[in-house]
Structure 1
Amino acid sequence: MEDVIVIGAGVIGCSAALNLAKLGLQVQIIDSEPPGSGCSFGNAGIIAVDHVAPLASPQTVAGIPRMLLEQDGPLRVNKLGVPRMTPWMLRFVAQSTPSNYRRNTEALASLVTVAAQAWKRLIESAVIPRELYRDIGALYVFERPEKAEDQRRNLEVLDRFHVEYKHLTASQVRDDYLPALTRDISHARFMPGMSSVANPQRIVQSLFEAARAAGTTYTQARVTNLSVSPDGSVQVYAGETTLTARKLLIAAGARSDQLTARLGLRIPLTNERGYHVELREPSVEHLRVPVSFVERGFTCNPMENGIRLPGTVELGAGENPDWRRADILLAQFARLFPDLAAPRESSRWYGDRPTLPDYLPMIDALPSARNVFVASGHQHLGLTLGPLTGELVSQLMTDRATAVNFKPFSASRFH
């Protein structure tokens, strides 16, 4: 019998396994895919310490009618998926009232504002190769002047949580960071506290290898069922194999709700689909820092294997990817960098981010099985919060004190 089984070999599962193994526990990771697959592979590679406010907000709700009409916009609601998404959307609207938005912002900020410290602990302990981590900041470029009220509201949130930023003119953006950028922009904000990674998959593989070195074992198999015995042990059924542990962590991303349901907890997790395209040309030298284009809702990150263009959000997506979403990213890049060679892609990807209606993660023991824990629902912040979540959930599972209030991330908060 293992002390702990971790379902999920992404950034959260591997980080948790590493921390649990370092505490002296026997840990086994199980996943149907190799470590660092899924959204842990396909993300934007940004450690977004400025994302202190959740997407569930009055402003987002006000824009829902436009999302239904603007099918090529950065945030799309698939019309065919509306009936299936309606219960989730109603919860989302309820979480977007001004009072709930303020409460959820406080909760999310309690994690995001200390996330960079967890990353630095990994760098200092040489778990992650230093060359993969870039503490160089990031840009937000605005193509149109911001509305005064929108700017006031956004900066007020950043100021409240001491997120550092610097205003840049269009000429400063081109001179200092993006010489090939179109002149047809308004201004930008530089976020010096943001960092990024050159290869998200290699980051997770480094965490996995460190966990293996600390004694963690690994099984590649798809989990089909779970059960809890009268003595409190947990059985994990994977194909023809049954594994047993004293405690279980479900960190299975978009599949987490299917697994918690096996143990009596139904959580309103939806799959928020994202896409990315990686470019063979032009070369990464044209981008000195990662840059996000606010109105278009996508990012350009110069990575180890080329410029990655992640972006767009699709709610209510069907079974098959809509590759037009990836084509939009290529077209956007060509418009924004008209002086560069036409973009040539080397690969494209899609994946489903696990998202809860309040846009907060779930980090807790299951009320129906107190020796089973869940760490999921990190939406766009899986990479940002992965190392911190791994620390926190390992402390929670071993009854150690933590500096974070877990109540906002409760597994029973929707019931």
Structure 2
Amino acid sequence: MQLISVIGAGVVGLATAVQLQQAGYQVTLIDKDGPAAGCSSGNAGHFATEQVFPLASFAVLRQLPIMLLNPTGPLRLRAGYLLRALPWLLRFVANVAPGRQQALQQALSALNQQALPAWQRLLAVTQAEDLVQYRGALLVSEQVSLKKLAATFSQYQQAGVSVRWLEQAALMAREPTLSRKVQGAIEFPDVAHTVDPYALCMRLFAKFQALGGEFRQHEVRRIRAHADGYMLDLAEGTAAGYSGQMAQQIRTPQLVISAGAWSHQLCRQLGWKVPLEAERGYHLMTQSRPLQCPVSSLERKFIMTPMLQGLRLAGTVEFAGRNSKPDYRRAKVLLRHANQLLAEPTAADPQAEPWAGNRPSLPDSLPVLGACPKHPGVFYNFGHQHLGLTWAACSAEILLATIRGDKPAVAVTPYRINRF
């Protein structure tokens, strides 16, 4: 039995570990905080296979000047972080060129086409089908003319995304609890959502352990080449309070780095300087659950997803540094937005605190996926930005095929680590 270690127990690392363990590998899964401790528990729960457009666009660039001025807007760049974020932003802007946009859209679409079929296979293996619902999703607009929504609809059609146009009457029949301020919507009929992202991750974790996988709660401080592969220097994890003391070492012939917003630090030890930025998102839970499917706002740039515990209000993009203190005003303002879109106002769940987490984002909106060109036996699966939940299952399948030397369903060339 071949040994392999996976660093990172978010949804991407969990899916990867399950796939490897099921395929006959003996997997050691390592995470300093435990399974689903970051964005994997706090995400919007939306399998966003309709999102085939890279984040870099002229529309986003036009908003950059106001990012410093509105602390609760959909985009935020903290003034004190501007200089540190500038190299990433310059790379981001370079992806706006039309030819580059087309290539990135094709690479995004390739993963999105595999996403839900891969999840259906993984859900069957992990007995988690009850946690995913296939009710589509809506993008709504409050503009009376609906011109901007119509232009967006045309963009999705041209990109090959399955969409339907809903006038207000059809929209109200679809989601009767929406406010009459909402004038129309684009429906995405072929997408899905999970009613509990954390529970979904824990089903993956339970299956991983049932298959014989081993979990170690430690921080990987150092990766060193070794005669038999690689040596991982581990420090004590955070369960009982992080001590920073070296706990032990693990020898592993093969290694997968899937550590989310911390992945670039590990890659640097292997000779790669990856332009990964921690892009913070927020969510707030409500007491009621009035919607049947996820609803996004074209103007307000946030999403409302019905979950078992209530309605999750999620979104916003903030560049402030991974270790900066969250600004929970950004979560609380989402409730005000939601109550503009709902016919009956809802309230925040007093038992659920506002949440913040760091998405691992790369300037071209693509993940790092595949084998390391420099170090045999090292593989990467990180940087999924807003689509970690969406791509977790398919990127795990692609990586498994790569590790086994098989031909993956999607060519990994656009996602290689040496593209930067």
* TM-score, scaled to structure 1: 0.93
When residues 11 and 276 of structure 1 are mapped into structure 2, their CA distance, relative to the original with a 3 A threshold, is: same
Confirm or deny: 8 A CA contact 2:182 2:341 kept in the other structure.
Answer: no
2:383 and 2:122 map into 1 onto residues whose CA distance is 23
When residues 84 and 327 of structure 1 are mapped into structure 2, their CA distance, relative to the original with a 3 A threshold, is: same
Q: Which residue of 1 is the match for residue 230 of structure 2?
A: 234
Question: Within 5 Å, which residues of 2 pair with 1:14-413?
Answer: 14-123=14-123, 125-145=124-144, 148=147, 151-152=150-151, 154-177=152-175, 179-229=176-226, 231-239=227-235, 240-279=247-286, 281=287, 283-284=288-289, 286-317=290-321, 319-337=324-342, 339-347=344-352, 348-413=354-419
When residues 10 and 65 of structure 1 are mapped into structure 2, their CA distance, relative to the original with a 3 A threshold, is: same
When residues 142 and 149 of structure 1 are mapped into structure 2, their CA distance, relative to the original with a 3 A threshold, is: closer
Confirm or deny: 8 A CA contact 1:21 1:27 kept in the other structure.
Answer: yes
Q: CA deviation at 1:148?
A: 4.6
Q: Secondary structure at the match of 1:412?
A: helix
Question: What does the per-residue CA deviation read over 1:158-186, in whole Å, with 9 as the maximum and x for residues that have no partner?
Answer: 23443211111223222321x33221122
2:350 and 2:104 map into 1 onto residues whose CA distance is 38
When residues 201 and 183 of structure 1 are mapped into structure 2, their CA distance, relative to the original with a 3 A threshold, is: same
Amino acid at match of 2:328: W
1:265 and 1:218 map into 2 onto residues whose CA distance is 27
1:341 and 1:331 map into 2 onto residues whose CA distance is 9
* TM-score, scaled to structure 2: 0.92
Deviates more, 1:68-77 or 1:246-255: 68-77
Amino acid at match of 2:191: M
Q: CA deviation at 1:151?
A: 3.9
What residue ranges of structure 2 are gaps of 5+ in the alignment? 236-246
Q: CA deviation at 1:341?
A: 4.5
Q: Secondary structure at the match of 2:232?
A: strand
What residue ranges of structure 1 are gaps of 5+ in the alignment? none
Confirm or deny: 8 A CA contact 1:84 1:316 kept in the other structure.
Answer: no
Q: CA deviation at 1:297?
A: 1.2
Q: Secondary structure at the match of 2:253?
A: strand
2:83 and 2:157 map into 1 onto residues whose CA distance is 39
When residues 341 and 197 of structure 1 are mapped into structure 2, their CA distance, relative to the original with a 3 A threshold, is: closer
Confirm or deny: 8 A CA contact 1:362 1:409 kept in the other structure.
Answer: yes
Question: What does the per-residue CA deviation read over 1:23-76, in whole Å, with 9 as the maximum and x for residues that have no partner?
Answer: 211111010112122010000000111011111123222332233333332111
Q: CA deviation at 1:80?
A: 1.6
Confirm or deny: 8 A CA contact 1:96 1:358 kept in the other structure.
Answer: no
Q: CA deviation at 1:86?
A: 0.4
Please report the RMSD computed on the Cα atoms of aligned residues, expressed in angstroms. 1.9
Amino acid at match of 1:137: G
1:399 and 1:145 map into 2 onto residues whose CA distance is 54
Q: CA deviation at 1:306?
A: 1.4
Confirm or deny: 8 A CA contact 1:237 1:243 kept in the other structure.
Answer: yes
Question: What does the per-residue CA deviation read over 1:84-116, in whole Å, with 9 as the maximum and x for residues that have no partner?
Answer: 100000000011211111111111111012211
Q: Secondary structure at the match of 2:306?
A: strand
Q: CA deviation at 1:129?
A: 2.0
Of all paired residues, the percent bearing the same amino acid is 35
